[in-house]
A and B are shown apart, each in its own frame.
Chain A
Amino acid sequence: MSATGRLGLFAFACLLLIPIVWQLVLAMPPFGAHPLPYADLINAAAPAERHVTNMVSAVNFDYRGIDTLGEETMLVCAVTGATVLLRGQRGEQLEAHPGQVENRPIPHRSEAMLLVGRLAAPLTVLFGAYVALHGMTTPGGGFQGGVIIASGLLLLFLAEDYRGWRRLMRSWLFDGLEGLGVALYALGGLAALPLGLPFLTNILPYGQPRNVFSGGLMIIENLAVALAVCGGFVVLLIEFLEETRVMSDGEQE
């Protein structure tokens, strides 16, 4: 279909749908002033039942824990798909050179970038670990901490040149980390089955509220999610950045 044909069809669909969408907008409940029964139930019950103070983590890892297992599986599938598409026939080349876009020289690594990167990257990884650990008490959790750690390792790439960074980031480590995360989550859920309880029942002691080690099984699930998300995102970054290097002899795409 030509471009004008597509645009004409889109305009026709808009003419039909916009009155319907307007009626929907008028029928929506008033912003900020409608009752939230499920939210009130969780906000009232969760601190006493599970001894945690971060309600979002309680929902993610305990009340809707099976949804999070599904999300982790989706992450592994997406990362596996991207890896299969990009890795292809290449091996683990640690001596590869960064490729070059035509007419553009590879800029020399600047000292300021090096200093700032080397200072900021360990601090960011430490901050990510802090956010991941304190998921039960203050805003944070496995998802946030995992992506912050991945972005800290990305800062290392901006500081070091391609070869230095590639020598630090070994694929086998982060592949293993991602798989370990998902396996730990599933095993933590399975631990309740021999006791005759449903999958993902919280069987560990709950601990004190406002303590880092509160929530029972949520601590293990939090750690598992942090490992899986960090490993998955670093694997994606490695695969994408590998696409920018010069191909060596005897390699096909």
Chain B
Amino acid sequence: MTPLIGLLLLLEAVAGTAVALSRKPRRQVLAMSVNGQVLALLFMALQAPDVAFSEIVVGAAVLPLMFLVMLASCRMDRASSGQDET
């Protein structure tokens, strides 16, 4: 097992834990994007370029944007009630 794969596995464990432990949704979106990028690097190290392609686009670009848009439209709905939970 090469040092690169070992290092990327440990980094992925840290990134995944950061996603689970970020309580506020808007912070978690950034953690999810970082997790997607670290996963893509890990997949490249495991000799899987096709999988890294999909993971970069879906995990680091499209999905965090959908989360942010959903949170923004929730805040627009609650403009009258005045509560903020994000």
Residues on A lying within 8 angstroms of B by beta carbon are 31-32, 54, 56-57, 99-102, 131, 139-141, 143-144, 147-148, 150-151, 154, 233, 236-237, 240-241, 243-244
Contacts and interface: CB of A to CB of B under 8 A. Distances in A.
Going nearest first, the 5 A-B pairs with the smallest beta carbon separation are A139-B49, A243-B73, A144-B53, A147-B57, A102-B79
Given A56-B50, A243-B69, A101 B79 contact: yes
B50 A244 contact: no
B72 interface: yes
Nearest to B48: A56
Interface centre among B1, B50, B53, B61 (most CB of A within 10 A): B50
Q: Do most interface residues of chain A lie in helix, strand or loop, or is the interface mixed?
A: helix
Contacts of A144: 50, 53-54, 57
Q: Do most interface residues of chain B lie in helix, strand or loop, or is the interface mixed?
A: helix
A31 B76 contact: no
Interface of B: 1, 49-50, 53-54, 57-58, 61-62, 65-66, 69-70, 72-73, 75-76, 79, 82
A61 B66 CA distance: 29
A229 B1 CA distance: 36
Contact of A140 (B50, B70, B82): B50
B48 to A, nearest CB: 8
